[in-house]
Amino acid sequence: MGALDILRIRPFLLLWLNAAVVLVGVMAQNVARTWLAYDLTGTNTALGGVLLAFGVAMLVATPWGGVAADRLPKRLVMQVAILLLALSSAWIGVAEATGTLRYWMLLAAGIVQAVAFALFSPARMALLAEIVPRDAVPGAVSLLLVNSEITRIAGPALAGLALATVTFGAEAVFFTGAVLFSVGIFVNHALPPGRSARACLADLGWRGSAARS
Please tell me whether residue 67 adopts helix, strand or coil conformation: helix
Q: Angle at which helices 10-41 and 137-163 pack, to 10 degrees?
A: 30
Averaged confidence pLDDT in the chain: 85
- Examine the pLDDT at 199 and tell me if it is beyond 60: no
Question: How confident is residue 209, by pLDDT bands cut at 50, 70 and 90?
Answer: very low
Range(s) of the domain holding residue 88: 3-212
The one-letter code for the residue type at 179 is V
Q: How many CA atoms lie within 13 A of 14 on its CB side?
A: 19
How long a stretch of residues is the chain? 213
Cα Rg for the chain, rounded, in angstroms?
19
Percent of the chain beyond pLDDT 90? 42
pLDDT band at 1 (very low <50, low <70, confident <90, very high): low
DSSP state of 191: S
Task: Identify the CATH number of the domain in which residue 105 sits.
Answer: 1.20.1250.20
**Residue 210 clears pLDDT 70, i.e. is over it:** no
Print burial letters for 18-52: b (CB count within 10 Å at least 16), e (below 16).
bbbbbbbbbbbbbbbbbbbbbebeeeeebbebbee
Give the per-residue pLDDT at 156. 85
Q: At how many degrees (to 10) do helices 44-71 and 10-41 cross?
A: 150
Amino acid 161: pLDDT: 82
pLDDT digits (tens, 9 = 90+) for 142-197: 888 888 888 888 888 888 887 777 556 788 889 989 999 999 999 988 888 876 55
* Mean pLDDT along residues 62-88: 92
The pLDDT tens digits of the residues spanning 84-130 come to: 999 999 999 999 989 999 999 999 999 999 999 999 988 988 888 88
Cα angle value 113/179/84 (rounded, 5°): 25
Number of domains present in the structure of the chain: 1
Residue 203 has pLDDT above 70, yes or no: no
